Amino acid sequence: MKICSIIASALLILAVPAAAETVSEIAALYREQAARESQCTLTGAVSCVVAWQTRSFIMVETDNPNGPAIYVGGDLENLAELEGADSVETGDIVEVCGKVTPFMLEPGVIAHRIRIVGHREFPAPPERRVADLTSGCYNNRRVSVKGILRRVRIRNGKNENVTELTIGTQDGPILANLRGEWPRLGGFRDAEVLVDGVCVPSYNARAEFLRPQIEIISADSIHLVPFSTPAPLAARTSGRGLRVGVLAWTPDGFDGHLRRLRGAVTFVSERERYFVVLANTAVRVELDEGRLPAVGDEVEADGFPVISGDSGVLANASYRLIRHPDKAVAPEEVAMSDLVGILDYGDPGEFDCHYRLVRLEGRIASASVMPDGTTVIDFTFGNHLLSAVLEEPCPELVARLTDRPLAKIAGVIKVSYEDNTQSGRGMAIREFTLLMRSPADVVLLPDMAARARRMARIARQAGLWSLLPIAALAVWLTLRAIRLRERAAAVAVDRKRMAEELHDTIAQYISGARLLLFSVQAESSALSSASREAIAMAGDILETARRDLRDKILNLQNDELMLLSIDRLIRRIAARADAASGARVRTRLRGLPAEMSVELKNDLLAIVQEAITNAVKHGHARRIIITADPIIPDGFSLGVLNDGEAFSPERSLGPETGHFGLSSMRERASRNALALRFGRRGKWTEVRIERRKR
């Protein structure tokens, strides 16, 4: 029995692992192993006294200062048995007695007794990249990090204040903490520095590793890099470092130094402390501290260019107010079709909309005040839903939108992307969010459907006695709508009747006359050459008349000219020409009048069609662009550009040779008070149609 007891005791002793006695052995323990350890006594050197607690420090092997390290903490402020000095300092060689325990994911020691036994000087720590530190392999180790000093601020610590430095690197920013208050470091903003310290991990409440931070050993551990002095800020103003792209703008290069831009403020976020500046493109500026500017202010902002989330921003920024303008920047009118095309194909092409100030038109789907105090409005366009967000609660605005009216909403577009690199498509746009500035950004439009819903709602609330006048009004509106529909139907019937009569009479006469000319031409061997040319010219004239009459008949047989806007009709012409002509035809239209007479539409479309036909037939163009821009006051400018051969309208063939294209275009322009010009714009041949209201 005694022998069995001895054997069992021996097996138990063998099963218990040897206690960790060095810094390296403790640093190598897993969390579960550290939790099972007991008392220990070990000797090492203090590599850094941490900023958040007096007498807490990082401990390394005395003969391997850049190797594994552990955190030594506990109730060290009340520790009576600190032998040799009042407090530990960097470089002290100490003997620590305590208990091994896991601190979050890293093992460490809760000290019961600390004795200072000597002192040593450390060599410079090895330089590391932030990307290496984020792996967690250098936790608690001595490192050097090089980067651009972006921000210096003083924050309150548990026992003393701490100076917090934000250092920008190619791998992103990293925070560095220095014990004490060192406001003079703010004078080195935008300087390149080399910081010596200890990489301390940061964790969340679930003991998950979040990010590394640097505990700076002392103020003498911050070194300026003399061989990389940045250029003066005046040489790095708004023209440099900003270019338009799918991510609004991208920093030019990776030097990370301060940039300056000047422009008007189009949006301000009080919650997230940033504002948007409209320079040569829209840029998000993230402010560290101080008062935010107001919408419309012209400012000069300094900041550090970084990629944050999906776009480039100026981080750790400050600004200077230039002036308060009398009038804010007007939103850009954007057609929903442009946004629908971007969402359908996931590619913005040449339409860069990130953080642009725009105004959109759509039907309100819902509106509500969210628990976080924001007001969210959802409105539809095409088959898509777009959310407009206001950072303040506005129940009055929500009440105005109960009946789902048509509305124009202004704001700044925020673009959300999704990563499609696995499918080979790269970054693709997932959705848009419209950031509103105030309730005044929502303007309701006249809308019969919303009016009917509002009247029905009022009727339900008012009770049965108020239904009679409302019902009478509803009947009157219904009868009026029926009369309008009947009138439109009568006009459509009359148009089709006229088309049938033209087809059965004049079109038949023209076709018959052309056949007679063909028969004469077949027997024209005895005629002179001039007579034969005249007959051929007459046949061409009749063919042109037949085509024009056919187009008129088609226009009379459908209601597109009456129902569709001019920009949609031009896009249809461009789509048909793109499919049939062999040339690539694209449109960039904005500012065309929403209302236009049928006669003006017809002549404008005929001029555009003739310009496309001439570009393909005579200029041999491969690319055609139809552009439109508003002309103040209340006019428009429409251009048809092509990359074909240049031509002179004075030398072009005219009616005397059977070519009626240019003369027809001039005649149509003249009777509609349109200015028609032919010329060159750079490498493009251009036909320009302008209308200015007097």
Q: Encode pLDDT of 477-487 as tens digits.
A: 888 888 877 77
Kindly report the CATH number assigned to the domain that includes residue 82.
2.40.50.200
- State how many domains the chain has: 6
Instruction: Find the range with the poorest average confidence among 223-227, 313-317, 508-512, 669-673.
Output: 508-512
- The confidence score (pLDDT) of residue 49 equals 84
**Same domain, residue pair 307 and 251:** yes
pLDDT for 624: 92
| Residue where one domain finishes, among candidates 266, 293, 323 | 323
What is the C-alpha separation between 120 and 94, in angstroms, rounded? 11
Name the least confident of 139-148, 153-162, 350-359, 396-405.
350-359
Integer CA distances (angstroms), 446 to 54, 361, 449, 452, in order: 69, 12, 9, 11
- Among the three residues 75, 93, 119, which one is the final residue of a domain in this structure? 119
Q: DSSP assignment of 286-333, as one string?
A: EE-SS----TT-EEEEEEEEEEETTEEEEEEEEEEEEE--SSPPPPEE
CA distance 167 to 304: 11
DSSP state of 17: P
Q: Determine the pLDDT at residue 249.
A: 46
Considering the chain, what percentage of its residues have pLDDT values greater than 90? 16
Indicate whether 662 belongs to any domain: yes
Section 70-97 average pLDDT: 73
Query: Residue 656 pLDDT > 60, yes or no?
Result: no
Q: Can you tell me the mean pLDDT for 204-228?
A: 81
Instruction: Give the pLDDT confidence of 5-40 residue by residue, as tens digits.
Output: 544 444 433 334 445 678 888 888 887 788 777 788
Span 263-275, average pLDDT: 91
Q: pLDDT category, 106, cuts 50, 70, 90?
A: confident
Summarize the confidence of residues 435-460 as an average pLDDT: 83
pLDDT (mean) for 464-470: 66
**Higher confidence at residue 231 or residue 488?**
488
Least confident of 80-89, 202-211, 228-237: 228-237
150, burial (CB in 10 Å: exposed 0-12, middle 13-18, buried 19+):
buried
Q: Is residue 453 part of a domain?
A: no
For residue 540, the model assigns a pLDDT of 66
Q: For position 492, what pLDDT does the model report?
A: 63
Host H or E run for residue 410: strand 406-420
Q: What is the CATH number of the domain that holds 279?
A: 2.40.50.140
Q: Which residue, 541, 558, 575, sits at the end of a domain?
A: 558
Contact 243, 249 (CB under 8 A): yes
Q: Are residues 553 and 602 in the same domain?
A: no
- What's the pLDDT score for residue 463? 66
What confidence category does residue 103 fall into, taking pLDDT thresholds of 50, 70 and 90? Answer: confident
pLDDT score for 80: 47
pLDDT of residue 521: 63
- Provide the pLDDT for residue 352: 63
| Same domain, residue pair 221 and 244 | no
Report, as an integer, the average pLDDT of 101-106.
Answer: 77
CB count within 10 Å of CB 196 equals 22
Instruction: Establish if 542 belongs to a structural domain.
Output: yes
296: left (phi over 0), alpha (psi -120 to 50) or beta: left
Asked if residue 457 is part of any domain, the answer here is no
Residue 149 maps to a domain: yes
**Bridging pattern class, strands 298-308 and 311-323:** antiparallel
637 and 582 within one domain: yes
CA distance 471 to 460: 12
In the block, tokens 């009456």 appear at 562
Predicted confidence at residue 172, as pLDDT, reads: 82
Comparing C-alpha atoms, which of 69, 73, 101 is closest to residue 158?
73
1 lies in a domain? no
Mean pLDDT to the nearest integer, 73-77: 64
Is the same domain home to 139 and 104?
Answer: no
CB neighbour list of residue 312: distance below 8 Å, 6 or more residues apart: 247, 248, 249, 250, 251, 283, 284, 305, 306
Residue 273 sits in the same domain as residue 364 = no
Q: How far apart are CA 638 and CA 489, in angstroms?
A: 32
pLDDT at 17: 45
- Asked if 249 and 148 sit in the same domain, the reply is no
Domain of residue 399 covers 332-443
In this structure, are 165 and 65 located in the same domain?
no
In this structure, the answer to whether residues 244 and 218 fall within a common structural domain is no
Mean pLDDT score across all residues of the chain:
77
Task: Let me know if residue 456 belongs to a domain.
Answer: no
Give tens-digit pLDDT for 627-642. 988 876 668 889 999 9
What pLDDT, on a 0 to 100 scale, did the predictor assign at position 390? Answer: 93
From residue 7, how far is each of 2, 11, 12, 18, 538 by CA, in Å? Answer: 9, 6, 9, 19, 124
Q: Which of 360-364, 607-611, 651-655, 686-690 has the lowest mean pLDDT?
A: 651-655
pLDDT digits (tens, 9 = 90+) for 149-200: 988 998 887 677 889 999 988 888 899 998 888 888 888 888 889 999 999 8
Read off the pLDDT band of 503 (50, 70, 90). Answer: low
Q: What's residue 237's pLDDT?
A: 42
Q: What mean pLDDT comes out for the span 430-440?
A: 87
Side-chain half-sphere CA neighbours of 235 within 13 A: 4
The secondary structure element, H or E, covering residue 108 is strand 106-119
- pTM of the complete model beyond 0.85: no
**pLDDT-derived band at 265, boundaries 50, 70, 90:** very high
Domain identity same for 690 and 568: yes
Statement to judge: residues 597 and 670 lie in one domain: yes
| Residues 377-413 pLDDT 10s | 998 876 778 899 999 999 999 988 888 888 899 999 8
CA-based nearest residue to 51, from 182, 224, 208: 182
Residue 593 lies in a domain: yes
> Do 36 and 115 sit in the same domain of this protein?
yes
Q: 620's torsion region: left (phi>0), alpha (psi -120 to 50) or beta?
A: left
